[in-house]
Structure 1
Amino acid sequence: MDWLTRMNRAMDYIEMNLTGEIELAEVAHRACCSSHQFQRMFSFITNVTLAEYIRRRRLTLAALELQNSDVKVIDIALKYGYESPVSFARAFQVLHGVTPAMARQVGTPLKAYPRLSFLITIKGAEAMNYRIEIKGDFQVFGIERVFNSNGDGETPAQFWQQSHANGEVERLAVHAGDLPSFVSQDFYKVHAICSYRKTEVDTFPYMLCALKSESSKTDGYCTVTIPAQTWAIFPSEPFTWDKFDDTIETLYRRFYSEWLPTAGYEQVEGMEFEFYGGRAGLSYVELWFAVRKI
């Protein structure tokens, strides 16, 4: 089953359950990936979170029902997952700019968000640099947190900010020791790894990490063995640090929307590295995705 088929099967499931409970684990199962991996792919490809897409679709259908039936507002609210007419009215007005009662008036302008379908499109001839490498097992160590896949609570970006502020990143860099020989010696000492072990449904592990070598000091840190993998590696062009967010977001988006659907590979449990480095006064980043042939 190819990538497009799997993604569209997931969208079919969402569409069939807009008036009921949508199990994110089932969405991900139909796409043959983890819940966290699916939500990341979805948001990078569509520029909207999965939760927001579902909310928009439900409120689109609710607006159509308000215009074309005499069903009570409270019944429509309950049908599309809202516990009260007040919460439904608030969400409805945020999306449509009018109240549910006003939506029933002829001529009231409303918004419609159609069902998404995934397909391959021609986007141009811009080259995408990558390489495929097979690495044996190695170890990383560092500071770990587990985050919610839906974005509720603390985020990895906040984790980085806190760890810089309290000195944990700098201490980890000191304890990192020498870089192992299998990676670029232009890399910095502290990086990030995601989805390297199983956690509860709709959560994912994330670690600010260093690569373990003979000179590393790992006492007090979480240590993880990364098994032998095939890695699809995507390097950025050199950039100034103020361009970091745009650069890494572009790499992720192009991986998910351009490379992965057509390359004949799939991700392994969503495992990925962000390696950071620099040379000649500029920074660069490499994204490493654990993959296997389909």
Structure 2
Amino acid sequence: MEWLTSIRTAIDYMEEHLKDNISAQDVADQVYISPFFLQKGFSLMTGYGIGEYIRNRRLYQAALDLKNTDDKVIDIAYAYCYETPESFTKAFSRFHGVTPSQVRDGAAVRTFLPLTVKLQVQGGNQINCKIKKMFQFKVIGFQKIFDNDTAYQEIPKFWDEICKKYAANVYAGNAPANPYEKAIVENCIGEYGVCIDDIGEGKFRYLVAGKYAGGEVPEGMVVYEFPMGDWAVFDCIGPIPEALQSLNTQIFNEWLPGNPDYELCGNASAEWYDCVNGEMTDKDYHSAIWIPVKKKDGNN
């Protein structure tokens, strides 16, 4: 499904099911896109996570119900998927700045209307992308499971944790002192950040990884194999994380919506970091985003 059509279909589905207990997985199933890619792209295009959008729309519609009907607060709370009146009142007050009873008495509420997504063509910065056919390859790394809604904030902490716990000694130029440090050196762990969306329920696996060279896999580390296929490789020049975040926004706001030939596929992606040349804070630091793609129907 074309990217803009997918986002619009996702919004329509959420609007039709505001009173149903739906999740990001349910929305992704409607548009046949990995929940990770949909959540990421939706957030970059709209500024809202899928869960946040659903929650905000429910709270606005609940406010309209309070103003326009005589329904009890408890019934409105249950109608919009809140388990208790207390949890509804807490969320409602945080969002609107007033309580449900104050709205009944005429207090103003925060407006949150359905989103309309349009293609916006911008100029000035050309995206450097190459489509490459890659054979299957394996990565090895340290794994942690993240929630879609909090991953952007939590993943950098995971990198810091891995560096301090396992990599500080070898990064300082010392010989490996244990199997983990040996694996880091032999497989250049830290060259890739890998997202794997295969567990559902709004969660995904993330690996601080390197290309697997064979040999021992220390306890707690995992190996993942990417299948052969086409990849969109986006080169990035600039300090991390600002440069990669900006590129991510361009990919989902400009490259995907306007691309006549390729669309997303698969359930995993990778970020590549130059582990040899320069520092991540350098203005000319080289990194890249790798996304699996396939030709659109009719372009084969």
Q: TM-score, normalised by structure 2?
A: 0.83
Q: Structure 1 residues 2 and 280 mapped into 2: Cα distance closer, same or farther (>3 Å)?
A: closer
The 1-side partners of 2:200 and 2:104 are apart by 43
Q: Structure 1 residues 86 and 251 mapped into 2: Cα distance closer, same or farther (>3 Å)?
A: same
Which amino acid in the other structure matches residue 190 of structure 1? Answer: E
Q: Kindly indicate whether the alpha-carbon contact (under 8 Å) linking 2:183 and 2:189 is maintained by their aligned counterparts in 1.
A: no
- The 3-state SS of whatever aligns with 2:121 is coil
The 1-side partners of 2:69 and 2:56 are apart by 20
Count how many residue pairs are aligned between Structure 1 and Structure 2. Answer: 278
List gaps (5 residues or longer) in structure 1: 180-186
Q: Kindly indicate whether the alpha-carbon contact (under 8 Å) linking 1:137 and 1:226 is maintained by their aligned counterparts in 2.
A: yes
* Partner of residue 267, structure 1: 264
* Partner of residue 182, structure 1: none
The 1-side partners of 2:32 and 2:253 are apart by 17
- The 3-state SS of whatever aligns with 2:42 is helix
| 1:73-132 per-position Cα deviation (integer Å, ceiling 9, x unaligned) | 1111111112222221111111111111111233x3221111113221223343222211
| Identity of matched residues, % | 28
* Partner of residue 184, structure 1: none
* Partner of residue 207, structure 2: 207
* Partner of residue 288, structure 2: 286
* Partner of residue 73, structure 1: 73
* Partner of residue 233, structure 2: 233
- The 3-state SS of whatever aligns with 1:134 is strand
- The 3-state SS of whatever aligns with 1:19 is coil
Q: Structure 1 residues 177 and 84 mapped into 2: Cα distance closer, same or farther (>3 Å)?
A: closer
- The 3-state SS of whatever aligns with 1:272 is strand
The 1-side partners of 2:74 and 2:190 are apart by 56
> RMSD in angstroms over aligned alpha carbons?
2.5
Following TM superposition, by how much is the alpha carbon of 1:58 offset from its aligned partner in structure 2, in angstroms? 0.3
* Partner of residue 217, structure 2: 219
* Partner of residue 173, structure 2: none
Q: TM-score, normalised by structure 1?
A: 0.84
Which amino acid in the other structure matches residue 286 of structure 2? Answer: Y
Following TM superposition, by how much is the alpha carbon of 1:219 offset from its aligned partner in structure 2, in angstroms? 3.1
Following TM superposition, by how much is the alpha carbon of 1:249 offset from its aligned partner in structure 2, in angstroms? 1.4
- The 3-state SS of whatever aligns with 1:279 is coil
- The 3-state SS of whatever aligns with 1:166 is helix
List gaps (5 residues or longer) in structure 2: 171-175
Q: 2:183 aligns with which of 148, 159, 175?
A: 175
Following TM superposition, by how much is the alpha carbon of 1:274 offset from its aligned partner in structure 2, in angstroms? 0.8
The 1-side partners of 2:292 and 2:112 are apart by 34
The 1-side partners of 2:241 and 2:185 are apart by 28
Following TM superposition, by how much is the alpha carbon of 1:284 offset from its aligned partner in structure 2, in angstroms? 2.7
- The 3-state SS of whatever aligns with 2:257 is coil
- The 3-state SS of whatever aligns with 1:286 is strand
* Partner of residue 63, structure 1: 63
